[in-house]
Amino acid sequence: MMNIPFHDRPAETIDPTQLAGLQLHRLRASVGHALCTPFYRQRLAECGLPESFTMGALSDLRRLPFTVKDDLRASYPDGLLAVPRDQVVRVHMSSGTTGAPTVIYHTAKDLETWTGLVVRSIAATGVTKFDVFQNMMTYGLFTGGLALHYAAEKLGMMVIPAGPGNTKRQIKLMRDFATTVVHATPSYLLHLYSALENEGVAPGDLALKRAFLGAEPYSESTRQKIEALMGIDAYNSYGLSEMNGPGVAFECVLKAGMHVWEDAYLIEVIDPETLEPVRDGDEGELVFTTLRRQATPLLRYRTRDLSSIIPEPCACGRTHRRITRIKGRSDDMLIINGVNVYPSQIEGVLMKIREAGSNYQIVIEKEGSLDKMIVKTEVSGDLFTGDLRSLEAVRRDIGNRLKTEILIHPSVELHEPGALPVSEGKAKRVVDNRPSL
Ligand code: ADP
Ligand code: ZN
């Protein structure tokens, strides 16, 4: 039996009935905090809930209204602030992948809680104070950098706050300080791998053992590709700035879905059309309620992220339920001539193809009245020195496999390594050139 590491075993293996009691207790406090904000006072009144309303049971959650990203934008900058301003010690903002910024305030206690959740998350992968942690995530308003930074320090690791980019320097730091763990976006780690190849550094010459990968959707085949190329274990990390950031859900050593820390977040999965809960195990939109946040409590926040709850308990013994890999955002979905396609489906196919490189891009154009999809992918450099027929065979194979997965036949373009743009933060995979309606 594999050794299962824990940071706070009693909290992580809490009895489910006891967990439900704790959740109800914390939910009541969260609703109370929420009522301190102008936004929720008005919203709850609009729903016909009196200020004296208290949650009798967890199922009363369904009487509460949803909160959406536009509510946060409309409340900018402080319509959702629930504590006096002098108690706030930090603000974070969403990286704005999808529009105007949203702000989340934190008290000192909020930061302590958050760091605790991230410590618990990373410790579940087996890292300890003997590890050397190189943080390749963006530091700043984006939550990814600072969250892991403080947690890794708290655990006692030596932290290298490298931030993203400057790949040559990353490699030098990894060698000079014998980095054992990195935190990066999956797209950046694949880029780093190509850079290692270019520099003639074999991954086996590095001390690297683990990677925490998150911030953007990626497929199981990408994880496996990264693990095989680099000879490491890669763990999926999920979070969003509205729910603090990293530390909402994280994989344990068993790598079979991400444990959601249910003593800090109430999770629901809903049908994004009907807004009704889906059955356990079915896919839907993740909705979270903060249970421990003082400065910016959020009730039933609709993430737009698509996933499902894994109803079976994890063999590791943790009682906090797991969610499956995020398939994408409901607003990520592309509609190509009426067919729904998620970028993650395309990625899943590309990563299974040996010759397909680490970087790809999906371009959509209008051709007459029809949509045309072009999948550009980097392939190994040696293909370009071989004969044209093998290049054409790879191209055709990719096209056919994509057709089987997404039901439409995109045109496929092969590019040499390094030819497609790389981003330092979240990768921008889709370029949609169709005129907007
Ligand atoms: P935004 O991208 O809206 O500016 P954030 O920077 O807070 O906001 O990013 C959070 C979003 O990033 C999540 O809602 C989710 O869509 C995506 N994300 C984060 N981690 C993962 C992951 N492990 N897998 C897939 N998607 C992720
Ligand atoms: Zn587990």
**Residue 329: CB within 6 Å of ligand 1?**
yes
CA angle 234, 236, 239 (to 5 degrees): 145
Bridge partner list, 165: none
CB of 306 within 6 A of ligand 1: the answer is no
Q: What is the pLDDT of residue 314?
A: 98
Ranges under pLDDT 70 in the chain: 1, 95-99, 357, 437
Q: Which atom of ligand 1 is nearest to the CA of 213?
A: 23
What region does 282 belong to: left with phi over 0, alpha with psi -120 to 50, or beta? beta
Can you tell me which residue has the tokens 């946060």?
72
Q: Domain segments of the chain: what residues?
A: 1-331, 334-432
Task: Say if residues 362 and 375 touch (Cβ distance below 8 Å).
Answer: yes
Ligand 1 touching residue 307 (CB < 6 A)? no
CB of 216 sitting under 6 A from ligand 1: yes
Specify the 3-state DSSP secondary structure of 337. coil
Question: Measured in angstroms, how far is the CA atom of residue 144 from the centroid of ligand 1?
Answer: 10
- pLDDT value, residue 263: 98
Which H helix or E strand runs over 388? helix 388-406
The ligand whose atoms approach the alpha carbon of 331 most closely is 1
334-432 has which CATH code?
Answer: 3.30.300.30
At residue 164, the 3 state secondary structure works out as: coil
Contact (Cβ atoms closer than 8 angstroms) between residue 107 and residue 87: yes
The secondary structure element, H or E, covering residue 158 is: strand 158-160
Mutate to test the pocket of ligand 1, among 70, 137, 324, 326 (most ligand atoms within 8 A of CB): 326
Do 14 and 263 form a contact (C-beta atoms < 8 A)? yes
Distance, CA of 40 to CA of 79 (rounded, Å): 9
Let me know: does 267 contact 287? Beta carbons within 8 Å: yes
Give strand pairing partners of 237: 214, 250
Residues 134, 139, 145, 149: is their CA dihedral positive or negative?
positive
**What are the phi and psi torsion angles at 303 (to 5°)?**
-80, -25
- The residues near 290 (Cβ < 8 Å, ≥ 6 apart) are 30, 243, 264, 265, 296, 297, 298, 299, 301
Q: 168 C-alpha vs ligand 1 centroid, how far in Å? A: 27
Ligand (nearest to CA of 304): 1
* Ligand 1 atom index nearest CA of 325: 24
Determine the Cα–Cα distance for residues 221 and 227; give it in Å rounded to an integer.
10
Q: Evaluate: CB of 97 within 6 angstroms of ligand 1.
A: yes
Could you tell me the distance, in angstroms and rounded to a whole number, from the CA of residue 303 to the centre of ligand 1?
9
Q: In the prediction, which pLDDT does 2 show?
A: 80
Binding site membership of 236 for ligand 1 (Cβ less than 6 Å): yes
Ligand 1 contact via 72 beta carbon (within 6 Å): no
Architecture of domain 1-331: 3-Layer(aba) Sandwich (3.40)
